[in-house]
Amino acid sequence: MKRYDGILLCSDFDLTLTSDTYKYRDGDDFFAPIPKNNIAAVNEFVARGGTFAVVSGRNPDEIALLRDVMPIADLCVCSNGTAVYSISGKRPVVSFTMGRECEKVIEYFSGFADEYSYLRVTDGDTPDCFDVCGRGELHLSILIETMRRQGYEFQVSKPEVIYKEIDGVKCEPIERMVADVPQAYAGAVIEKIGRRRGVLEKMEGSDRVRLEFLVPSRGLFGYRSEFMTDTRGEGIMSAVFEKYEPFRGDIPHRSVGALIVYETGETTQYGLFYTQERGTLFVGSQVPVYAGMICGANSRPGDIVCNVCRKKHVTNTRNAASAEDSLRLVSVHPLTLEECLEFIDDDELLEITPKSLRMRKRQLSHEQRAKNAARGIK
């Protein structure tokens, strides 16, 4: 028996197998160069009994060209996840077509919900609003990313877990999380999970430590990126639903406020330079923004309205261009989809388009938010 017998390894293509993503024209190569160490790793994995499959948004004819480079499996997932394709048979094994209207997408995923209880979709408070229930952060992220790649523009609110009342007691879903990390980083992982109401069940190993926790599902929202940072990219984690248990108490969500755009326009180096003193920026210079949009995280509790579109006034002794050229931004930290879902609060939304992710306040007007705050309305 070989070392990797029975193991299936799936990988994306662009920016995973390759270090770049592009498609030549006029009959040239379809792919960016694949690093030699990646090709060698796949060859060794397959030689030791493993099966390597490609999961990509590309079409099947492009994926088939990979067989000249490395030993990939006959079946692949292609066309933005809409088909499982047999390369040798040159036909789809499983496929579906997604409509251009949101209702058709919802109906498609609802079909799985009826049979497998993986996804549940119900009408929201308004005709253009839906309540979507999934199996966790990853499941919902896949749905969001799929709709985004199909060209939809929509907004999502802060994710919430589904509570149940069992024998008169409020209960919440608990997941069993398994983490495999270097011993030097085990302490940081245990500390972070403890803050999220997780309980350490088992710990074993020496150089690499295997940790098992029982963690509330709400405690794992957005933790994956934090986990990779704490373990310097060397950690591996997975989680699966375990059971319902009595509510474990509040989990600190966000200890900082948001930096909110004052007016609609385009960000300037001058405006961002004086805003970065207040916290972490999510947008760079010359980016279109609108009033009520979140452009960064405040270093302290509470929201601050900032004028990131402010320009340096021109005088007889100086000009705007030279003034902005001398200003340098410390850093800009664009958030991923998962990080955005963790960051937004109850009074905020995540606006998703095929090209961008933008966080915003539900109420865009600064004056109206101030009035609502005075009345105790979120």
Hey, what domains does the chain have and what are their CATH numbers? 8-95 (3.40.50.1000), 102-156 (3.30.70.870), 173-246 (3.30.70.240), 258-375 (2.40.50.250)
Question: Which residue would you say has higher pLDDT here, 116 or 207?
Answer: 207
Question: Is the pLDDT at 322 greater than 60, yes or no?
Answer: no
Give me 325's structure tokens.
């050229």
Question: How far is the first Cα of the chain from the last one, in angstroms, to the nearest whole number?
Answer: 61
* Residues in contact with 36: Cβ distance below 8 Å, sequence separation at least 6, in sequence order: none
Phi, psi of 216 (to 5 degrees): -60, 140
Nearest-angstrom CA–CA distance, 269 and 191: 38
Question: Is the pLDDT at 116 greater than 80, yes or no?
Answer: no
* Residues in contact with 1: Cβ distance below 8 Å, sequence separation at least 6, in sequence order: 49
pTM: 0.60
Select from 234, 348, 372, 237 the least CA-distant residue to 282: 348
Residue indicated by tokens 């939304």 = 349
| Mean pLDDT of the 272-301 span | 90
Alpha-helix residue ranges (DSSP H) falling in 294-356 = 320-325, 337-343
Structure confidence at residue 115 (pLDDT): 42
Question: Is the pLDDT at 289 greater than 90, yes or no?
Answer: yes
One-letter identity of residue 31: F
Question: Which residue would you say has higher pLDDT here, 127 or 350?
Answer: 350
Residue indicated by tokens 């079946």 = 75
User: What are the C-alpha distances in Å from 327 to residues 72, 263, 334?
Assistant: 50, 22, 20
Nearest-angstrom CA–CA distance, 253 and 51: 41
Alpha-helix residue ranges (DSSP H) falling in 196-331 = 223-230, 269-275, 320-325
| Mean pLDDT of the 149-157 span | 88
Select from 53, 18, 15 the least CA-distant residue to 35: 18
| Mean pLDDT of the 355-376 span | 87
SS3 168: coil
| Mean pLDDT of the 144-166 span | 87
Q: What percentage of the chain reaches a pLDDT higher than 70?
A: 84
